[in-house]
């Protein structure tokens, strides 16, 4: 019932969004977008560590500290996927009141699927498949009540990276920060699971040159089930199923070509005979970047050497 209500709400919302967007175009002379002005009402408090309000009881302005978890970085916000939104597109308009009415804290949040579960516009992201992969993941399986898409996709900051960012190192840093947000922060981790957070540096000490690996591959390369249809795999497997074998990457058919370099791999053919040439732009992965022609030449040379030795032996036998 609740869910159905939410969906209809979302549809109505989308309709208004289109109208609002049309409105934006109509008044382009005005340089500050309407939603930025609108959001200022909220960000004057939620954009800072401190806020002030007029207190009717004491009849004067009062200055208070803002809960640090409720502070929103407006630079990140206006760079995010949902930068064109007003706060009250996702939150109740009743938040315009202060103090906020107490019952609002029980207001349910939208899910991604409420807005992205229909329409061709989002087809390329394949939300349905992401949703079902996510439901199979260890996070969802173990902590269905607290975990949601928002845990990895901060509603006020999330921005697509792998699809649009050209610099692979940036993508790796961005994506890994999402995981490390919890896996390197004991409070965030314990918000979900009531146990000590294992130290990721210690649990990966079997990996040589760990710092380099964490900068050169994403956590999901080793921890998510490979997907043929998704650009970003979303089924995080239990730790027993994580990739530990070096040859999975350090070989001709490196898994990196199907995951991290999926986008590049489709466009580039094997350049100048190098295996996995898409990898070469960034670095040389031992075992994965052998050259076809060099391989061929070495085989020919080896053949010639064997032939030479053979001829030599035959000549010596004849001479005896
Ligand atoms: C005068 C300062 C002020 C303004 C303006 C303000 N807020 Fe808040 N907001 C707070 C404070 C303080 C809290 C912490 C909890 C509380 O006091 O209700 C809060 C809490 C919240 C919460 C978390 C509620 C919870 O308990 O989970 C949301 C969501 C929120 N505000 C949204 C908004 C939105 C959206 C706007 C603009 C329409 C807005 N706020 C405007 C000060 C403000
Ligand atoms: C795309 C939808 C969306 C937009 C736009 C949005 N929020 Fe939120 N906001 C959420 C969701 C979802 C949560 C709950 C996050 C969670 O469950 O982890 C949230 C949580 C919050 C909280 C509580 C913090 C917390 O961690 O629980 C505050 C405060 C807040 N939003 C304020 C704002 C303000 C101010 C704006 C506008 C500048 C805004 N939000 C715009 C979706 C949105
Ligand atoms: C309240 C409706 C709503 C919710 C909830 C919502 N989105 Fe969106 N999302 C939109 C709309 C509308 C746009 C297009 C914004 C624009 O073009 O300015 C968008 C844009 C995006 C884009 C960017 C597309 C592009 O081409 O740049 C991605 C990715 C995205 N959303 C993912 C998510 C994810 C993941 C979630 C949940 C964690 C989510 N959205 C929740 C409505 C929503
Ligand atoms: C465990 C963390 C995690 C969870 C949970 C999660 N995601 Fe993601 N998601 C990521 C990461 C990491 C990326 C890669 C971001 C990038 O580089 O664009 C991503 C990317 C995406 C993208 C962009 C993919 C593309 O093709 O460009 C969408 C859409 C998305 N997620 C939707 C969802 C939805 C919907 C849910 C919930 C059903 C969800 N995600 C849950 C971590 C997560
Ligand atoms: C919101 C916090 C949070 C985020 C973000 C997050 N995780 Fe987790 N993750 C957890 C918690 C908590 C557990 C422990 C679940 C349990 O055992 O109860 C966990 C478990 C895991 C496990 C399974 C460990 C085992 O015992 O089998 C792996 C692997 C993992 N996470 C990888 C990732 C990856 C990769 C990302 C980023 C794409 C990520 N996580 C993002 C909180 C998070
Ligand atoms: C080269 C592959 C690889 C990479 C990259 C990698 N992991 Fe792992 N990870 C593993 C393997 C294999 C295990 C299982 C280790 C074991 O059981 O001894 C593991 C274990 C874990 C565990 C479970 C630890 C425990 O004891 O509960 C978590 C959580 C985890 N990794 C998170 C991450 C995060 C976050 C990142 C990115 C910063 C990451 N991993 C990068 C292969 C990798
Ligand atoms: C998920 C893919 C992946 C896995 C699994 C993996 N590696 Fe790597 N490895 C890489 C990448 C990518 C680099 C980065 C090369 C660079 O930046 O020059 C690298 C770099 C290295 C380097 C450093 C080479 C140098 O130039 O300094 C060594 C050594 C190495 N790996 C050994 C291993 C060993 C041993 C294992 C198994 C225990 C392993 N790797 C597993 C992807 C992987």
Q: The tokens of 259 are what?
A: 């995951």
List pLDDT tens digits, range 96-125: 999 999 999 999 999 999 999 988 999 999
Q: The tokens of 186 are what?
A: 């004991």
Q: Which ligand is closest in space to the CA of residue 21?
A: 3
At residue 1, the pLDDT reads 37
At residue 195, the pLDDT reads 86
Between the CA of 115 and the centroid of ligand 3 the distance, in Å, is: 7
User: Is any ligand 5 atom within 6 A of the Cβ of residue 193?
Assistant: yes
SS3 90: helix
Q: Virtual CA dihedral for 44, 178, 259, 220, nearest 10 degrees?
A: -160
> Nearest to residue 92, comparing CAs of 105, 80, 82?
105
- Nearest residue by C-alpha to atom 34 in ligand 7: 246
Distant-in-sequence contacts of 289-295, Cβ < 8 A, 24+ apart: 290/252
Ligand 3 atom showing the smallest separation from residue 152 Cα: 38
Q: Which of 9, 78, 82 most suits a substitution to test ligand 3, by most atoms within 8 Å of the C-beta?
A: 82
At residue 256, the pLDDT reads 85
At residue 266, the pLDDT reads 54
Q: Do 200 and 184 contact (CB within 8 A), yes or no?
A: yes
Cα–Cα distances in Å, from 241 out to 71, 221, 245, 307?
A: 38, 12, 11, 48
What is the residue-level pLDDT of the chain in tens, covering all 320 positions? 344 444 555 555 555 555 555 544 445 556 889 999 999 999 999 999 999 999 999 999 999 999 999 999 999 999 999 999 999 999 999 999 999 999 999 999 999 999 999 889 999 999 999 999 999 999 999 999 999 999 999 999 999 999 999 899 999 999 999 999 999 999 999 999 988 888 998 999 999 999 999 999 999 999 999 998 999 999 999 999 999 999 999 887 788 887 787 766 655 544 545 556 556 555 566 666 666 667 777 778 888 888 888 888 888 888 87
- Nearest residue by C-alpha to atom 29 in ligand 1: 91
Q: Which ligand is closest in space to the CA of residue 100?
A: 1
* End-to-end CA separation in angstroms for the chain: 99
User: Is any ligand 5 atom within 6 A of the Cβ of residue 219?
Assistant: yes
Q: Which ligand is closest in space to the CA of residue 126?
A: 4
At residue 118, the pLDDT reads 86
At residue 251, the pLDDT reads 85
Backbone phi, psi, residue 55, to 5°:
-100, 110
Ramachandran bin of 274, using left for φ above 0, alpha for ψ from -120 to 50, beta for the remaining angles? beta
Between the CA of 280 and the centroid of ligand 7 the distance, in Å, is: 14
At residue 254, the pLDDT reads 81
What is the crossing angle of helices 2-26 and 34-46, to 10°?
A: 120
User: Is any ligand 5 atom within 6 A of the Cβ of residue 241?
Assistant: no
Q: Which ligand is closest in space to the CA of residue 195?
A: 5
At residue 210, the pLDDT reads 92
Between the CA of 5 and the centroid of ligand 2 the distance, in Å, is: 20
At residue 310, the pLDDT reads 87
Question: CA 280 to CA 282: how far, in whole Å?
Answer: 5
Between the CA of 177 and the centroid of ligand 6 the distance, in Å, is: 14
């Amino acid at each position: 019932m609740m869910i159905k209500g939410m969906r209809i709400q979302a549809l109505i919302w989308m309709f208004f969004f289109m109208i609002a967007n049309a409105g934006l175009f109509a008044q382009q002379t005005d340089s500050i977008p309407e939603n930025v002005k609108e959001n200022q009402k909220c960000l004057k408090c939620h954009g800072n560590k401190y806020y002030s309000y007029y207190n009717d009881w004491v009849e004067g302005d009062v200055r208070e500290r803002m809960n640090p978890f409720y502070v929103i970085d407006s630079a990140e916000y206006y760079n995010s996927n949902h930068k064109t939104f007003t706060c009250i597109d996702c939150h109740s308009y009743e938040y315009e009141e202060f103090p906020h009415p107490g019952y609002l804290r029980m207001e349910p949040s939208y899910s991604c699927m409420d807005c992205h579960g229909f329409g061709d516009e989002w087809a390329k992201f394949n939300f349905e498949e992401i949703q079902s992969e996510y439901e199979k993941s260890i996070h969802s399986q173990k902590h269905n009540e607290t975990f949601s898409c928002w845990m990895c996709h901060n509603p006020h900051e999330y921005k697509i990276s792998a699809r649009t960012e050209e610099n692979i190192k940036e993508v790796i840093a961005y994506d890994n920060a999402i995981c490390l947000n919890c896996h390197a922060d004991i409070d965030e981790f314990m918000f979900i699971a009531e146990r000590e957070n294992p130290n990721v540096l210690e649990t990966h000490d079997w990996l040589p040159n760990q710092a380099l690996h964490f900068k050169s591959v994403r956590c999901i390369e080793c921890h998510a089930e490979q997907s043929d249809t998704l650009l970003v795999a979303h089924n995080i497997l239990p730790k027993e199923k994580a990739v530990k074998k070096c040859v999975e990457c350090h070989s001709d058919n490196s898994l990196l070509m199907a995951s991290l370099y999926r986008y590049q791999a489709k466009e580039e053919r094997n350049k100048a005979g190098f295996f996995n040439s898409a990898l070469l732009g960034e670095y040389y992965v031992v075992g994965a970047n052998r050259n076809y022609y060099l391989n061929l030449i070495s085989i020919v040379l080896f053949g010639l050497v064997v032939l030479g030795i053979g001829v030599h032996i035959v000549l010596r036998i004849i001479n005896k």
